[in-house]
Structure 1
Amino acid sequence: MEAVLAQVEQLPALLAVSRSALVRDWDAQILDRALEWGRYFQHLHDRFLTRPRLREALGRRLRRGQPSPLLGFPQLGRCPQLLGLALLENRALPPAACRRLLLCLLQPPGAEADADPRSLPLLARRKAASRLLALPGGPPRSLERTEPQLQAEAQLLLVRLREEEQEIVLASEAEGRQRWLSGVLEQLPQPRAFRVVAAALLLLGQGSSSEQAGGGGRDGNSLDGNQASATGGECVAGPLLSWLLGNLERFSAFCRFLPGSLLASLAGHYSQLSRPYLDLLTTWGSLLLYDPLQGRWVKSCLDKAGLSWEELRERFGYLCRGSVLLREQTQAALKLLKAQDGDFKVCGLSVWTDLLMEVEEYLRKEAEKCLQYFLLT
């Protein structure tokens, strides 16, 4: 077993070499040996998948000496993919070795008709598609109409998290998954990371809602099918929510960057987000002061991060257009803040009084529209 552990310990070095300029001396034979090592590590993963103690030993050995321990036992199962993608991106790989690599990607040894969804050819095609979609020239798109690249990135992230969830047995592996996710997202520019996470959470939330609305699963048992789907979605969403909520500065930037309509939709799908989001809006609202000369609410400190009165009013308005539960939660929060601020009845004395009046006026008009529509039909 010690010999196996010593071999596994060489995986980070193998991946590092595959990304370096050292590959310029590789020929087809050296490339074949490197890919064979990748398949050997994948074999070890499949062999020890159901043996928790050995899994933990392999994971510990992989993490040894890594400055940022992003590699763990689950990465053994994807070693051919990690190695293949690293070599694809390395321009130092000679033409002969590159041709051999492409041949191995398209016709891996022992390939069958039903390809694994994590197979190298599929990953290669996805990467090529991602590169094409990233080409400049198209007009900017809003997040509400998610561009293809962003949606593809969100779906790939969810696939990866689902694979990790299926393999996790030990608590240390769950911590490794969270570190992996943080490492991946922090490599992206922050606005892009926020958009990918929001799109992934929205896909999970919409998928769960559509399954519940559509009835039962394939076996006809709607309750069991929906519960299983909801549980799986929560397990995948958990690391994304932990990444967002684990850092207040990050969560604040996330909420400032994304539009209020999308944040309200996410808060409606995830109760873990609704309360922190309301608390953040409360913090921003407390930074507003009433300017009697202008007759409006303005920021008390222009250099502090926050929202204008118009933006804050819009955010609360979107929350009240959401689900009944979210609307009631938002109204209750505003009423409590109004009471704590003196329970004023006139405008200009409390930002919470003015916001609550705006929200109640909007809800009254919506109720009148619904009643008028009902009477006319």
Structure 2
Amino acid sequence: MEDIWKNVESTLELLAVSQTKFVSEWDARTVDRALQWAQYCEHIYTRFHTNSVIRKALEKCLRDTNERLRITFEGYRDMPFSDTAQCRHILLITLLKNPATPNSVIKLLFKRHFEANGDTGQDDQNADVASLVRIRSACQVLGTAKFSRNVPGSLEFGAQVHGKMLRQRLDSLLSYPDNDVLARNLLDFVLQHSGGLDNVSYVIAGAVLSKNDISGGNVTEDLIVDWLRDHNDLLLNMCQSLPAGLLAELSERCTKFRLAYLEILKEWASHLEYDIIKELWQQPRDGGVSFKTLVNRFRSLLASSASVKADTEKELVDMKEADGGFEVMGLSVWTDLHQHSLKDLTQSQKGTSLT
């Protein structure tokens, strides 16, 4: 068993090095050997994870090695025993995130695992490698692509394709236990390499709206929203830059997104100030959105599905009552938002019924 401990220790050392600038010296042969060692660790997990005695010994080996590597490598993240089941996933994501990874290695991985001439004989893990490399390639394309804002309430085809690609990868990762960190790492990579917040906003929207063919409810969508809450600048950008109709569609698809979106709308509304002379609600100079934009956003939500409409109207009524329950315009932003949103919605519905 001593050989197993040494091999596992060596694999952790290799994974630690893959996070550093020294990966710039790696070539195709080095990566192949690294993937083989990662696969070896997965085999060890599969073979011994139900053997309590050997598992306990392996966990001690990992603790000791992790402690040593934390001292040696700044920013090193511990590898728990459960993560050894997905060593190749971790290695690939680490290489994809590391700016020091040579382009020649990335291109070789793409050619070997993605451009397989239609070969369907690869195993599941190699398929995962292919999809990870595909994400890297897609992100390079996204770095130069600019998605249009002139398609109200819908996504461009390019954003749909890239969003679906990301969604499939996330669904695959989350079909394994304890893979939340890996999924978040993938989202971090997309954020860093997709050409700015506007592009990422459309890709994330595409991922949320992509059809989920894997059972498990809203696991992927919920993780995406939890991740967005940890990246508030991106969440704010989505709520500000995406078309109102598209945001309503996202709110209908994902309850967690709906709640996050409503929180941001309430935050923006709370910063509006009333100009008595102009008799208008003015947005602050340091950001936020206009009163007209807020009305447009709320109106789109009220025109959505029954559940979205009910939640939105409840928020408007609750905020109006909490702010004094005024019926006179100009005293409370919530009174004015409530009346304008319902008024504009009613007028819009009347106009639609006449056409």
TM-score (norm. length: structure 2): 0.72
SS in 2 for 1:344: coil
Q: 1:35–1:83: 8 Å Cα contact kept in structure 2?
A: no
**Which residue in 1 is equivalent to 2:305?**
323
Residue 283, structure 1, aligned to residue 267, structure 2 = yes
Selected match of 2:45 from 44, 48, 52 = 48
Selected match of 1:270 from 226, 240, 254 = 254
For residues 307 and 292 of structure 2, the distance between their equivalents in structure 1, rounded to whole angstroms, comes to: 24
The AA in structure 2 aligned to 1:359 is: S
SS in 1 for 2:281: strand
**Which residue in 2 is equivalent to 1:225?**
none
Residue 342, structure 1, aligned to residue 349, structure 2 = no
Displacement after TM superposition at 1:89 (Å): 6.2
Q: 2:170–2:183: 8 Å Cα contact kept in structure 1?
A: no
Displacement after TM superposition at 1:285 (Å): 1.3
Residue 146, structure 1, aligned to residue 143, structure 2 = no
For residues 127 and 196 of structure 1, the distance between their equivalents in structure 2, rounded to whole angstroms, comes to: 12
For residues 294 and 37 of structure 1, the distance between their equivalents in structure 2, rounded to whole angstroms, comes to: 67
Query: How many residues were matched structurally?
Result: 330
SS in 1 for 2:274: strand
Q: 2:191–2:200: 8 Å Cα contact kept in structure 1?
A: yes
Displacement after TM superposition at 1:114 (Å): 2.5
Selected match of 2:11 from 4, 8, 11 = 8
**Which ranges in structure 2 are unaligned for 5 or more consecutive residues?**
none
**Which residue in 1 is equivalent to 2:285?**
302
**Which residue in 1 is equivalent to 2:201?**
194
**Which residue in 1 is equivalent to 2:87?**
76
For residues 84 and 250 of structure 1, the distance between their equivalents in structure 2, rounded to whole angstroms, comes to: 24
Deviations 1:54-112 (A, max 9, x none): 4983876579435153974354134785699789962577xxxx9899679878xxx97
For residues 83 and 297 of structure 1, the distance between their equivalents in structure 2, rounded to whole angstroms, comes to: 48
SS in 2 for 1:297: strand
Quick check: which has more Rg, 1 or 2? 1
Displacement after TM superposition at 1:369 (Å): 5.7
**Which ranges in structure 1 are unaligned for 5 or more consecutive residues?**
212-227
Give the direction of change, closer, same or farther, for the CA distance of 1:34–1:288 in structure 2 (3 Å limit).
closer
Deviations 1:266-316 (A, max 9, x none): 1111112223322321221122222233232212x322x311111111111
**Which residue in 2 is equivalent to 1:159?**
168
The AA in structure 2 aligned to 1:45 is: E
Further displaced range: 323-332 or 191-200: 191-200
Give the direction of change, closer, same or farther, for the CA distance of 1:238–1:342 in structure 2 (3 Å limit).
closer
For residues 117 and 44 of structure 1, the distance between their equivalents in structure 2, rounded to whole angstroms, comes to: 16
SS in 2 for 1:194: helix
Give the direction of change, closer, same or farther, for the CA distance of 1:19–1:237 in structure 2 (3 Å limit).
farther
1:79-228 alignment runs, 5 A limit? 90=102, 113-116=120-123, 119=126, 122-123=130-131, 126=134, 130=138, 133-134=141-142, 140-142=147-149, 144-148=154-158, 150-168=159-177, 173-174=178-179, 176-177=181-182, 180-181=185-186, 183-188=188-193, 189-203=196-210, 207=211
**Which residue in 1 is equivalent to 2:240?**
256
The AA in structure 2 aligned to 1:241 is: V
Residue 243, structure 1, aligned to residue 227, structure 2 = yes
Displacement after TM superposition at 1:20 (Å): 4.1
